[in-house]
Amino acid sequence: MHVLSLQDVYKAIDSEVILRGVNLQISSGVLVAVRGRSGVGKTTLARVAALLLKPDKGSVAFMGLNTRKLGDAETSALRLRYIGYVDQECTLIEELTAWENAELPLKLLGVNKRIREEALSEVFEALGLRKLEYRKPRELSGGQRQRVVLARALVKKPRLLVADEPFAHLDDQTTRMIFEHVRALAEENGMSVLITTTDLYTRMDVDEDYILENGTLRREAWDSQR
């Protein structure tokens, strides 16, 4: 069974068709990259995959469930428990500290304080966020904010991580560190990963590589010359 399965998905935004018959299946523990130029619909695809947008046509199945048959409350509960989402705007609650922002999904899930603290300590250490726990978002750099958003997505150990251009504000060394951590989680916990990027030319250590163009996905084939 696929963790995520998109079948013939169409989605229009403001009367413009963005996704045209997208098909994508992601199995447990698999890392998938979707590449494309700015404005081709990667964010729309990411939001559909993260159950934040419903397709106009086609189906989205998550863990075997046809999500089009679910109500809003059921979809929200499924997303909260099983999906981690990293948006490219690095959205955080400005009144909360970095720690409190990352802790929020665990609080909503009713996880007790001791387990929350253990989980947060682990992910903050892994993402190089130690000593930043009590800073407010306005006190963080763009790269630090992005890592806090990623911490919030990972702390609940989701079945699926959807990350929309998660390395845009990070230097190469930090990108490698975080990617290795995500890869380890996929291998150890069976977490599936969907990453979008505008980088069309740098080969990533992913299991499946796709190009989004003209609203459709095509498998990317790397050759020795690239």
- Give the pLDDT confidence score for residue 192 in this predicted structure: 97
- Give the pLDDT confidence score for residue 168 in this predicted structure: 84
Mean pLDDT for back-to-back runs of 10 residues, the chain (226 residues): 94 94 96 94 97 96 94 96 95 97 98 97 95 96 95 97 92 91 92 94 90 93 52
- Give the pLDDT confidence score for residue 217 in this predicted structure: 95
SS3 track for 149-183:
HHHHHHCCCCCEEEEECCCCCCCHHHHHHHHHHHH
Given a contact cutoff of 8 angstroms between Cβ atoms, the answer to whether 59 and 11 are in contact is no
- Give the pLDDT confidence score for residue 225 in this predicted structure: 39
Regarding pTM above 0.85, the answer is yes
- Give the pLDDT confidence score for residue 220 in this predicted structure: 82
Residues 4-92+158-219, CATH architecture: 3-Layer(aba) Sandwich (3.40)
User: Residue 59 carries which DSSP code?
Assistant: E
Strand partners, 62: 4, 65
Q: From CA 114, how far away is CA 10, in angstroms rounded?
A: 44
Q: From CA 112, how far away is CA 117, in angstroms rounded?
A: 9
The backbone region for 101, taken as left when phi is positive above 0, alpha when psi lies in -120 to 50, beta otherwise, is: alpha
Q: End-to-end distance of the chain based on CA atoms, in angstroms?
A: 33
- Give the pLDDT confidence score for residue 169 in this predicted structure: 85
- Give the pLDDT confidence score for residue 128 in this predicted structure: 93
| Domain boundaries of the chain, sorted by first residue | 4-92+158-219
- Give the pLDDT confidence score for residue 212 in this predicted structure: 96
At 24, which amino acid appears? L
